[in-house]
Structure 1
């Protein structure tokens, strides 16, 4: 169930960031837009940390399905920050 929640949240997160990034033209503007979005999220009163980072901390075994789901999301974010398609 945890993996399903992480995958659902990752898909929602990716859609939000892709919509925001589509509003600007340059790689620098896309990165700035993504960072601005994160800043607003981090300052929100309901922010209690990153669900994916919590998953990595709680399930530290790289072979665990929760760990793998969290790594997939982090790798997707890393690719977005490089303005590359997700693999």
Structure 2
């Protein structure tokens, strides 16, 4: 759930933390294969990202974090004029 996940960006580090909670089930549970508890994911970002434009979305249990890169400085053509 969105309330169970926290995303932070500090400098060049992206940090995602949260809690995986066990879902309530009816009936007899013979075996559980899902992980539960606290998790943390850290990633070092390249220096050419725009931290103010980072966005995240959660859909169908999949978290998508988009970290856009800054546009590379393109060479500018300077036209020579007559004097």
**Structure with greater Cα Rg:** 2
Higher strand share: 2
Q: TM-score, normalised by structure 1?
A: 0.20
Q: TM-score, normalised by structure 2?
A: 0.21
| Larger RCO (CA under 8 A, 6+ residues apart) | 1
